[in-house]
Structure 1
Amino acid sequence: MTILVTGGAGYIGSHCSLTFLEAGHDIVVLDNLENSSTESLARVGALAGRSVTFEKADVRDTDRVERILRTYNCTAVIHFAGLKVMGDSLNHPLAYYDTNVAGSLSLLSAMSRSGIREIIFSSTAAVYGEPRQLPVPEAHPRQPENPYGRSKLIVEEIIRDLCQSDSSWRAGILRYFNPVGAHASGLIGENPLTPTNNLMPLLSAVAGGRAEKLKVFGNDYDTPDGTGVRDYIHVVDLVEGHLRAYEALFGLEHSDNCFAVNLGTGTGYSVLQMVKAFERASNKQIPYEIVGRRLGDVAACYADTVAAEQTLGWKARFGLEDMCADTWNWVCKNPRGYGGHKNAS
C-alpha cells in the first residue's frame, strides 16, 4: 500500500512524509519544485532511514499523475500541492484557481481513472472568512474573503460532491490554522523560495539578521494589545493530524464518507505575543514597526478543536515555546535554508 503525497517536498509535505515513513507507510512524493527543494526529501530520508521515492511532476498533468498512481500501485493520496499566500492571491487570482482548483480536478480525475478513492485534502481556516464566533467551529459559515480561501472552498465542495455521488470515495478535509515550527532535529523546516507574509519566517529573518525590523500590520484591532490574534500550530502536531485522519478514513461508514475538521490548538496569540516569545527563544531583540492593516486580515481567529479530538482522537501537544524554539533551531542550523537547492531532481 503506497500513498501519493502531492507537494511532498514542501514545508508541511516534507514533515508529513517523514511522519508517514516513520509510521511504516510507503510513500511516493510528487512535486513540481516551484517553491520547494529535493534537499528536504534527502533529509527526510536520512531521518527516516530510507530513501524517499520522488517524481517531479505537476498535478495539472492528469495523464502523468495517472501513470504515477498506477506505476507505484498507490492506494491513497495526501494532497498538499497548491499556492497558499492570501495576499498574493488577490493580485494573481487566475494562478490560484488554476493551480488549486484545476490542479485538484486533475488529481481527482487521475485518481478516478486509477480506481483510487481515498484522499486527505489540505484545506485552510481561510474558508471561514471573518469569524462570527470564537473559537471557530467546523459548522461556521464558509465565506472566504480572498481567492486563496475561495479556491480551497471550491475544492472542498468538489470533494464533497464526489463523495456524495459515489459511496466508495472516502475523504478527510483538514482545515489548517497557522502552521509554524520545524522538526526537532533542525534538519527540515520552513524554507520559502518566494516572498512570504507569514509571521514566523519574518520573525526568523529579523532575529537572524537578514531583515532590519518586523512590520506589524495594524495595532487597532479589538484584541488585548491591538494586534491580530491567530492560532499557531506546530507543524509536527499538524502532520500527526494527517496520520490520524488517514487512519480514520478506514473507519468511515459509506453514509458518512467525508469529514472536515479544524487542525489548530484552540489558543490564539497576538503578533506582539509572538514577538516576545521569539525573543525569548532566540535571545535576540526583534525591532518592529507598526504599519497599516493589510487588506483581508481579521482581528482574531482560532480553532474549535472538539471535532478533531472526537473524529481523529487527535489533540495538539506542542506549545508556543516549542514552536519558537524549534523554529530558531532550524534557522541557526540552516541560515540559508536548504542552500538554494531549488530545482534539484
Structure 2
Amino acid sequence: MKIVVTGGLGFIGSHTVVELQNEGFEVVAIDNLSNSSESVLDGIFNITGKKPIFEKMDLRDKKAVQDFFNKHNDVSGVIHFAASKAVGESVENPLLYYENNINSLVYLLQELKELPNANFIFSSSCTVYGQAENMPITENAPVQQAMSPYGNTKQIGEEIITDVAKVTAINSILLRYFNPIGAHPSNEIGELPLGVPQNLVPFITQTAVGLREKLSVFGNDYPTPDGTAVRDYIHVVDLAKAHVVAMQRLLNKKNLNKVETFNLGTGTGSSVLEVIKAFEKVSEKKLNYQIVSRREGDITEAYANTDKANNILGWKAQSTLEECLASAWKWEQKIRS
C-alpha cells in the first residue's frame, strides 16, 4: 500500500517514513526542504535499505498538489506533517503560519475527497489545549483559546478535518503530540533545525557542543516545583511508531468514528531544569544556561494522559527521558563532527 508522508524529510516525518518502510509500506515523501535536507534520504536508506519516492514540492501550490495526485492516484493514506511549527515565530509572523499550515491542509483534503476511500492522519499538537486546567491532559479536555497563531492553526486544522469528514469518505485520526525529542538509534537521522533552534533540546545539544554560547531558560517564576515550565518529552521513534499503528487502524477499518483523536506522550511531565540536569548526567557536560524572562505564547505545564492511545491503539511510549537525551546528544555530536 502506498502512503504519502508530507514533510517526509523533516524530523518526525523522516522517522515515520523509516517505520512505515520497516512495516512494508511503499512511501512517497513530499517536502519543500524549507526546514530539512535531501541528504535525509540517504539516512533513511542506510536504516531501511530503501529510499522512499521523493517529490520536492510546496503544498501551498494548489496546481502542484493536483498534479501530484493525478500522478499518484493509487494512494491508500496520507500522513500530514508539513507545517511551520515554532510558537515564537508564529507570534511574530502569523500570516506565514496561516498560509502555510491552513492552505496546504485544504489543498490536500480537496484532492483526497475525490478518492473512494481516503485515510488521513493529522499531525496535531497539545497546544490545542492551551493551558489545560487539569493534569494530566485527557482528550476530553476542552480546546482552549490558542496561545499562539501556531496553536490556532492546529485547532483550525482539526475543525476543517472534522467538517470535511461529515460530507466525504475521508477517515481521519488526529494525533495530538506533546514534545518530540531524540534521534534514531542508528544515528542516521535526527533533528536538523535550520538557524537558531526554537525547541529546548536542540538548543541544549547545540550549547553543549559549543555552537551556542549559552542556553536561555524562559522564566523561573512559574507555579511549578522548581519554577520552570513543565512539558512531556517523547522519543521521536516512539512517536513515529504511533503513526504507523494509527494508519493500520484506518486501513483495517478498525476506527469507530470518521474522526478519532489520541494524545501521544509519555504521561510524565519534566521541567526545563530537570531536562537540563538529565542532559548533564547523560552527557557528562556542564551546561552554560541563564534564566531570562518568560516567552510570549508559552504555557506553565502540559503532560499527557495516554490511556486512550495505550488501550485503543495498543501503543505506549518506551524510551525514558535520559534515553531520549542521550540519543539527541549522540546525533548532535555526529552532525558537528
TM-score, scaled relative to structure 1: 0.94
Residue aligning to 2:153: 151
Distance 1:83 1:116 in 2: 28
Alpha-carbon offset, residue 61 of structure 1: 2.1
**Which range moves more in the overlay, 186-195 or 235-244?**
186-195
Aligned match of 1:280:
281
The offset of 1:66, in angstroms, is 2.9
- The unaligned stretches of length 5 or more in structure 1 are 337-345
Q: Counterpart in 2 of 1:324?
A: 325
Answer whether contact 2:249 2:255 (CA < 8 A) is retained: no
Match of 2:37 in 1: 37
Alignment of 1:130-149 (within 5 A): 130-143=131-144, 144-149=146-151
- 1:270: which partner in 2? 271
Q: Distance in 1 between matches of 2:99 and 2:27?
A: 26
Worse-matched range after superposition: 251-260 or 144-153: 251-260
Match of 1:48 in 2: 48
Question: 1:165 aligns to what SS in structure 2?
Answer: coil
Which range is displaced more, 3-12 or 210-219? 210-219
- Name the structure 1 match of 2:239: 238
Cα offsets for 1:121-169 (capped at 9, x unmatched): 0010011101111001111111221110111111101111111223x22
Rate the CA distance shift 1:278–1:251 in 2: closer, same or farther, 3 A.
same
Query: Aligned runs of 1:124-273 on 2, under 5 Å?
Result: 124-143=125-144, 144-166=146-168, 168-252=169-253, 256-273=257-274
- Partner SS, residue 279 of structure 1: helix
Aligned equivalent of 2:60: 60
Aligned with 2:123: secondary structure? strand
Assess, with a 3 A threshold, how the Cα gap between structure 1 residues 324 and 255 changes in structure 2: closer, same or farther. Answer: closer
Whole-Å separation in 1 of the counterparts to 2:59 and 2:115: 15
Checking the alignment, whether the CA contact within 8 Å between 1:63 and 1:110 is kept in structure 2 is no
Mapped contact 1:206–1:212 kept (Cα < 8 A):
yes
Partner-residue secondary structure (3-state), 1:334: helix
Q: Say which SS state the counterpart of residue 311 (structure 2) adopts.
A: helix
Judge conservation of contact 1:62–1:110 (CA < 8 Å) in 2.
Answer: no
Answer yes or no: is the 8 Å Cα contact 1:62–1:109 preserved in 2. Answer: no
Q: Which AA in structure 1 matches 2:264?
A: L
Is the 1:213–1:289 contact (alpha carbons within 8 Å) kept by the matching residues of 2? Answer: yes
Query: For this pair of structures, how many residues does the alignment match?
Result: 335
Query: In the alignment, what sits opposite 1:343?
Result: none
Q: CA RMSD in A?
A: 1.4
Quote how far apart the aligned CAs of 1:60 are. 1.9
1:14 pairs with 2:14: yes
Instruction: Report the Cα distance in structure 2 between the residues aligned to 1:288 and 1:43, rounded to whole angstroms.
Output: 32
SS at match of 1:113: coil
TM-score, normalization: structure 2? Answer: 0.96
**3-state DSSP class of the match of 2:222?**
coil
Residue type of the partner of 2:32? Answer: N
Distance in 2, matches of 1:15 and 1:162, equals 28
Residues 78 and 120 of structure 2 are in contact (CA less than 8 Å); yes or no, is this contact kept in structure 1? yes
CA distance in 1, matches of 2:28, 2:259: 24
Runs of at least 4 residues of structure 1 off by over 3 A?
113-116, 250-255
- The residue number in structure 1 matching 2:308 is 307
| Aligned mates of 2:19, 2:251 — CA distance in 1 | 19
Cα deviation for residue 45 of structure 1 reads: 1.4
Runs of 5+ consecutive residues of structure 2 not aligned to the other structure: none
CA distance in 2, matches of 1:174, 1:42: 28
CA contact (8 A) 1:170 1:249 kept: yes
Return closer, same or farther for 1:18/1:254 CA change in 2, 3 Å cut-off: closer
Q: Is the 8 A contact 2:87 2:151 kept in 1?
A: yes
CA distance in 2, matches of 1:335, 1:210: 9
